[in-house]
Chain A
């Protein structure tokens, strides 16, 4: 019988018992690969389906639309940069000794993306988009973002998140940004404010789900 039914066990003895138990259960572990390696692994994984979709996209039309709308060029750069920086921040957050301020890495690109998108969309005064178009956009971001997020979560396994909700949220943001970047190639109409709001909703949903699932999947308080 143990600490709870007899006299209190001295603190030092409690620690020694835990240490002995941990040492007894010690198994060799492979040191997790470097953040850069993990980042490259994830990029390689998402570039494959991304490149496949680019091949079937009407690239000429998309580039033509972007050429006359410089805000959307900036928005596209912002979304791609957010996907990369948010993934980097999520990966770095899985290493306890890395500065937690790395979580702020996606902020500049996210600001650029939001600012350029708002600026471009507020200049448009077209008819509100149809419900089917809206569902297509949201469905595209969620449909591509969820597998991207799962791939990134798999990539994060083996690390240890001291802030699991933050890591999960960043992973969700990275996946959603990557999906939204690819959506830009297929978007057949000019982005309006209500369209933009739906894109933002889909991205917020994925980031929120990542934050919610971060704790059970990425470690944290045991």
Chain B
């Protein structure tokens, strides 16, 4: 077990800001999280996270910092606390990426492997679909729209969506299911040709 770490010069400001955040100081919290973004990115990069996954790790870490903020002891240095959370989220991201096959080594399989690059016109079609969906979602009541945006489109968990919207998980679930039902109705073939 490592001995109790000591505060590094400059780190005290993080500890003070986090303590203020625990007391509900919004401005200090916002400034702290902003300062943390490049640090989290650097820590995640050091664990081997690259590309778009790096931004996901930053987002996940910020959310975890928010949920775990009561566990921070201002008498202890802030950065090891942040590092432990970032490293865990980085490992989660790497595991998630590891579960998705990305390389094909067998010669035959390599030849038969579908090209994942976009085909001509694909981008245009994707934009059309997104526009139709956007219009349909815009027609939903606020609660349903928020639930669909956060849970289905941004793929946030109920906890994350709840933290972002301030709504309970139960309310989000109800709004999500109602939203899906409304979307099914709005996007069904008999609605084609309407304004949605």
Residues of A within 8 A of B154 (CB): 2-4
In this assembly, does B44 line the interface, its C-beta being within 8 Å of a C-beta of chain A? Answer: no
Select B70's contact among A3, A158, A162, A222, beta carbons within 8 Å. Answer: A158
In this assembly, does A55 line the interface, its C-beta being within 8 Å of a C-beta of chain B? Answer: no
Q: Interface residues of B, CB < 8 Å — how many?
A: 51
Min Cβ gap B55→A in Å is: 5
Is B62 touching A18 in the complex (CB atoms < 8 A)?
Answer: yes
Is B63 touching A5 in the complex (CB atoms < 8 A)?
Answer: no
Is A15 touching B2 in the complex (CB atoms < 8 A)?
Answer: no
Residues of B within 8 A of A101 (CB): 1
Q: Interface residues of A, CB < 8 Å — how many?
A: 42
Chain A binding surface, main DSSP class = loop
In this assembly, does B196 line the interface, its C-beta being within 8 Å of a C-beta of chain A? Answer: no
Query: Which B residues form the contact surface with A (CB < 8 A)?
Result: 1-2, 21-24, 26-27, 29-30, 33-34, 37, 55, 58-60, 62-64, 66-74, 76, 80-81, 84-85, 88, 92, 130-131, 133-134, 137-138, 149, 153-154, 157, 159-160, 163-164, 166
26 intermolecular pairs with C-beta atoms under 8 Å apart: A4-B130, A6-B134, A15-B58, A19-B37, A21-B163, A21-B164, A22-B62, A22-B163, A25-B164, A26-B24, A31-B73, A34-B73, A95-B73, A96-B68, A97-B80, A99-B2, A101-B1, A102-B1, A158-B70, A162-B88, A219-B67, A219-B68, A222-B60, A222-B64, A222-B67, A222-B159
Query: Which A residues form the contact surface with B (CB < 8 A)?
Result: 1-6, 11-12, 14-16, 18-32, 34, 94-97, 99, 101-102, 158-160, 162-163, 219, 221-222
